[in-house]
Structure 1
């Protein structure tokens, strides 16, 4: 097995929304805001090469939305999914599987693109199977008013229409070892229903794709929960269990949304679980 970090692009989000009830005077220390109160955000994906399979975890925003849409998110930097794949010697047509932690637009928008004459949409990975789970698919395609703006039909329905959408079969297990994909999954419901966090054994370490349970190192303290979460108290409970296990089992957290830190480990302190070490992917592996 070989892992590769894939940088699909950077954007900005409102710092208050990202930290919920935590005061700006506190979160601004770890995630400094600009004059518009926006903080730096990454859309960092992960590529797994295992035998003849190339599994891409999440795909970022993609590029099919309007300039007005992207204007809300202040895109910055020169990262792109295609450039990042090329860096490691791959092309999007090489991808065999696309695994989506959940179906918010910044996690799955890159899974679908315009067709050649821009009359409709098509899967952006022509040889890939697309993976979600049935409960989350129903949640996303019949969205509640709070999340409706994050679940965009143009990101979802073309995958289903392609006939290459598949569901992870079991969402009841706390840690599911998927025979389909070869890694463990933690299901969490606080941010959105049945978000999936991959746990990958790699070179003697457990790498956890932290997705939106712990978006950045600034979100490690227990009460630091995003305003976007649909069930923040449930997030705190899920997060407590995860943080305790991360310390006990020495997890390496792969940070999807931290624009400046790729991987971190955690430690137990008198104040609770806190940051232990920060690593770049290439230095660690």
Structure 2
């Protein structure tokens, strides 16, 4: 695995959506979580849906693709999808088109993370949005996608991933998979089986794209889990390991779903890991 001579890393904005605050924070009382993550209306919280872009010498990596454009008007209204940003427009800000992306790495296959993998053509058929890319997911998550439990079934849409699989564009991330030396993964199974959390070393920093392991700053406290997690006790154990590692190795947490905050650092206060400082992604490299 050759050392990369040049690398760029960017955080891409996409359309936002809304989620119930109780779902985002489970058993935590509203008067507590709303001080950390305010609602906008009817107990709904705004939710970002960012992607991570990494440009290396030879390849262009995109981590997650958001909800995409295939939902009909009724579904879009139900999920409160809004905003002017799309992944295509965000890529264009870096002089890139979907055809330039060589690898799409998916943290998992819930629709808000992989819906943008495909788009409808003029005949309303789902086709790959990134036609020249290899698409990557953990084999455990793919098995779960094909045979989901009753809670996750509503988050797995066949039109998102089956066109990729049928075209032979799907590949699996295993412990033996190496993309480039600066990239590693923390694998978790509490939110869903085979969740991949990318950790990228760049300009002396370790950037963790926290995905649904820690969706927003309000979820940093150990017991503040989202009710979306399939196995919450397993999530607690995994989150504890991740937070300890994050403090030890000075991770910068980069949030996929935090509408208010892009990045944060952590601190250990009397044995409890807490939020230290909130940051804009661009501030990391100034």
Shorter-chain TM-score bucket reads over 0.9
Give me the whole-angstrom Cα distance separating, in 1, the residues matched to 2:226 and 2:114. 19
Residue 24 of structure 1, aligned match among 12, 30, 38: 30
Post-superposition Cα deviations, 1:74-129, rounded to whole Å, max 9, x if no partner, equal 122222111111111111111000000000000000001112321x2111101100
Cα deviation for residue 181 of structure 1 reads 4.8
Of 125, 129, 133, the residue aligned with 2:130 is 125
5+ residue gaps, structure 2:
1-6
For 1:179, the equivalent position in structure 2 comes to 178
Give the structure 2 partner of residue 173 of structure 1.
none
Mapping of residues 242-253 of structure 1, within 5 Å: 242-253=242-253
Aligned residue number for residue 209 of structure 2 = 209
What is the CA distance between 1:240 and its match in structure 2? 0.6
> Take 2:59 and 2:142, find their aligned partners in 1: how far apart are those partners?
24
CA shift for structure 1 position 249: 0.9
Deviates more, 1:270-279 or 1:41-50: 270-279
Identify which range, 72-81 or 259-268, moves more after superposition.
72-81
- Looking at structure 2, the residues matched to 279 and 77 of structure 1 have their Cα atoms a distance apart, in angstroms, of 22
Query: Which of 41, 49, 69 is residue 47 of structure 2 equivalent to?
Result: 41
Could you tell me the TM-score, scaled by structure 2's length? 0.94
Give yes or no for contact 2:139–2:194 (8 Å, CA) kept in 1.
no
Aligned residues: 278
Of 6, 19, 42 in structure 1, the residue corresponding to residue 12 of structure 2 is 6
1:60 corresponds, among 56, 66, 76, to 66
Alpha-carbon distance in structure 1 between the residues aligned to 2:271 and 2:217: 16
**In the alignment, structure 1 residue 167 sits paired with structure 2 residue 166:** no
Aligned structure 1 segments of 4 or more residues deviating by more than 3 angstroms: none
Other-structure match for 1:145: 150
1:104 aligns with 2:103: no
Structure 1, unaligned stretches of length 5 or more? 171-175
Contact 1:14 1:37 in 2 (8 A): yes
In structure 2, C-alpha distance between the alignment counterparts of 1:133 and 1:35, rounded to whole Å = 36
Superposition deviation, residue 6 in structure 1: 0.8
Secondary structure of residue in 2 paired with 1:2? strand
Question: Are residue 154 (structure 1) and residue 159 (structure 2) matched?
Answer: yes
Residues in 2 aligned to 1:180 and 1:41: alpha-carbon distance in whole angstroms = 29
**Kept in 2: contact 1:31–1:40 (CA 8 A):** no
Q: Does the CA-based 8 Å contact 1:123-1:162 persist in structure 2?
A: no
RMSD: 1.2
Instruction: Give the C-alpha shift of residue 271 in structure 1.
Output: 6.8
Q: TM-score, normalised by structure 1?
A: 0.95
- Of 76-85 and 152-161, the range deviating more from structure 2: 76-85
C-alpha distance in 2 between matches for 1:211 and 1:103: 12
